[in-house]
Structure 1
Amino acid sequence: MSEELLRLSKRMSELGLCSRREADEWIARGWVRVDGKVVSELGTKIYPSQRVSVERQAAAEQSKRVTVLINKPMGYVSGQAEDGYQPAVVLIKPENRWAEDPSPEQFHPTQLRSLVPAGRLDIDSVGLLVLTQDGRVAKHLIGETTDVDKEYLVRVEYTKPGKLPDSDLKKLNHGLWMDGKALQPAKVRWQNDDQLSFTLREGKKRQIRRMCDMVGLKVIGLKRVRIGKVKLGDLPVGEWRYLRPDEQF
Structure 2
Amino acid sequence: MSAQDNYDKGRSSNKQGKNARKKSMARGNAPLKSESPKKNTGRQQDPAKPKLKFDKTGKEIGRREKPVREVKKSNPEDGIRLNKYIANSGVCSRREADTYIATGLVTVNGKIVNEMGYKVQLTDDVRFDGRRLNPEPNTYILLNKPKGFATTDSNAKGMTVMDLVANATTAKIKPFGRLGRNATGLLLFTNDDEFVQKFTKKGIPRLFHIELDKNLKAEHLKKIKEGFTIEGKEITVEEISYVDNSPKSEIGLKIKHTGNSIIRTIFEHLGYDVVRVDCVTLGPLTKKDLPRGRWRTLTEKELNMFSMI
TM-score scaled by length of structure 1: 0.65
Contact 1:150 1:199 in 2 (8 A): yes
Q: Secondary structure at the match of 1:177?
A: strand
Q: Which amino acid aligns with 2:252?
A: S
Match for residue 158 of structure 2 among 80, 85, 109: 85
Gap change, CA 1:140 and 1:125, over 3 Å in 2: same
Match for residue 86 of structure 2 among 18, 29, 42: 29
Match for residue 140 of structure 1 among 174, 180, 198: 198
Q: Following the alignment from structure 2 to structure 1, what is the Cα–Cα distance between the partners of residues 232 and 258? A: 15
Q: Secondary structure at the match of 2:252?
A: strand
- Cα deviation per residue 1:154-210 (whole Å; 9 max; x = unaligned)? 11122xxxx533221012223332453111233110012131111001245511122
Q: Following the alignment from structure 1 to structure 2, what is the Cα–Cα distance between the partners of residues 242 and 32? A: 27
Q: Following the alignment from structure 2 to structure 1, what is the Cα–Cα distance between the partners of residues 212 and 145? A: 20
Q: Following the alignment from structure 1 to structure 2, what is the Cα–Cα distance between the partners of residues 238 and 170? A: 35
Gap change, CA 1:131 and 1:218, over 3 Å in 2: same
Q: Following the alignment from structure 2 to structure 1, what is the Cα–Cα distance between the partners of residues 222 and 210? A: 16
Contact 1:32 1:53 in 2 (8 A): no
Structure 1, gaps ≥5 residues long: 1-24, 46-51, 95-106
Q: Following the alignment from structure 2 to structure 1, what is the Cα–Cα distance between the partners of residues 279 and 142? A: 12
Match for residue 149 of structure 1 among 185, 205, 225: 205
Q: Following the alignment from structure 1 to structure 2, what is the Cα–Cα distance between the partners of residues 136 and 200? A: 22
Q: 2:189 — aligned with what?
A: 131
Contact 2:241 2:252 in 1 (8 A): yes
Q: Following the alignment from structure 2 to structure 1, what is the Cα–Cα distance between the partners of residues 84 and 224? A: 47
How does 1:1-249 map onto structure 2 within 5 Å?
29=86, 31=91, 38=100, 39-42=104-107, 43=110, 61=135, 64-81=137-154, 84-94=157-167, 108=169, 110-111=170-171, 114-142=172-200, 144=201, 146-158=202-214, 163-191=215-243, 192-193=246-247, 194-203=249-258, 206-247=261-302, 248-249=305-306
Following superposition, the deviation at residue 220 of structure 1 comes to: 1.3
Contact 2:145 2:187 in 1 (8 A): yes
Q: Which amino acid aligns with 2:86?
A: R
Q: Secondary structure at the match of 1:139?
A: helix
Q: Which has the higher contact order (CA 8 A, sep 6+)?
A: 1
**RMSD of the alignment, in Å?**
3.3
Following superposition, the deviation at residue 78 of structure 1 comes to: 1.0
Following superposition, the deviation at residue 32 of structure 1 comes to: 6.3
Q: Following the alignment from structure 1 to structure 2, what is the Cα–Cα distance between the partners of residues 75 and 170? A: 33
Gap change, CA 1:155 and 1:205, over 3 Å in 2: closer
Contact 2:237 2:253 in 1 (8 A): no
Q: Following the alignment from structure 1 to structure 2, what is the Cα–Cα distance between the partners of residues 214 and 232? A: 30
Structure 2, gaps ≥5 residues long: 1-81, 113-128
Q: Which amino acid aligns with 1:175?
A: G
Gap change, CA 1:70 and 1:151, over 3 Å in 2: same
- Rg larger for: 2
- Cα deviation per residue 1:37-77 (whole Å; 9 max; x = unaligned)? 725431589xxxxxx799xxx79x56x22110011111111
- Cα deviation per residue 1:93-142 (whole Å; 9 max; x = unaligned)? 45xxxxxxxxxxxx55x23xx21111111111001010111112222332
Contact 2:153 2:162 in 1 (8 A): no
Q: Following the alignment from structure 1 to structure 2, what is the Cα–Cα distance between the partners of residues 198 and 244? A: 26
